Amino acid sequence: MQQTRCATPCFHMPMHRRLDYEKDESVVEVQRVEDALRADDATAYLHHLVEEYDDLAAWTFFLHADAPEHVHPFRLLEEVLSAAQKGALDEASFPFLYLSHNYLDLGTSVHTWDNFASPRLWKRLFASSVAPPREVVKGYCCVQFLVPRPRALLRQRQWYADALTYFASATSYFDLFPHGKFVTWQDLTCRAPAQLWMPWWHVVFGEAPSKAKTI
């Protein structure tokens, strides 16, 4: 069976933010992603999409370095990665797949939707005049997911570049909170803009806001 090229952008946070990814079994690259304020996986993943846009792998696994803490059972990731490498996955069956186990219904979750900031962020990212009510938005915590190339290419490189610029700058914090150009310790510690975006990454890749529970 023909091998399929897979990429794995992997978010790390030692003293500095970094992005690790491998294009094949023999090549591993490490790249720094600089944030004005913490944006964590938001800028790591967006950086990969911008830089690799014209050479995206057939399947991209977006993961944290601590993926075993979020993917239960971890064998799921091993089996899906193996299937992708062997060319046994198809986009029709897997247009987008969350790999983490913690399902979030934003209608009941008090930590991943802010009634002021979340609609504001939605409108900014998707250039929309409206945002859905929180009860409509459902997804998964902790942004471990799989995307086939055609879904990643639904959006222009410029969209990813604009989002990267936004999240990498202090503007992403200043924009979302009503007290002006001031960032609280709590917002910074919680990586507030990236955290609010976390449960609706699937929308970026063409999925409806309400993502059915799959794991």
- Structural contact between residues 12 and 61, judged by C-beta atoms closer than 8 angstroms: no
Closest CA to 194 of 143, 135, 136, 160: 143
Domain positions in the chain are 6-204
Q: What is the pLDDT of residues 148-158, one digit of tens each?
A: 999 999 999 99
- Structural contact between residues 87 and 4, judged by C-beta atoms closer than 8 angstroms: yes
Cis peptide before 148 (omega within 30 of 0): no
Is the pLDDT reported for residue 201 higher than 90? yes
In the Cβ-directed half-sphere of 137, how many Cα atoms lie within 13 Å?
Answer: 24
Task: State the pTM of this model.
Answer: 0.85
Q: What is the pLDDT of residues 99-123, one digit of tens each?
A: 988 899 998 887 788 888 999 999 9
Higher-confidence position of 145 and 183: 145
Q: For residues 29 and 154, give the distance between their C-alpha atoms in angstroms, rounded to a whole number.
A: 26
Backbone angles phi, psi at 67, to 5 degrees: -50, -40
Average pLDDT over residues 180-200: 77
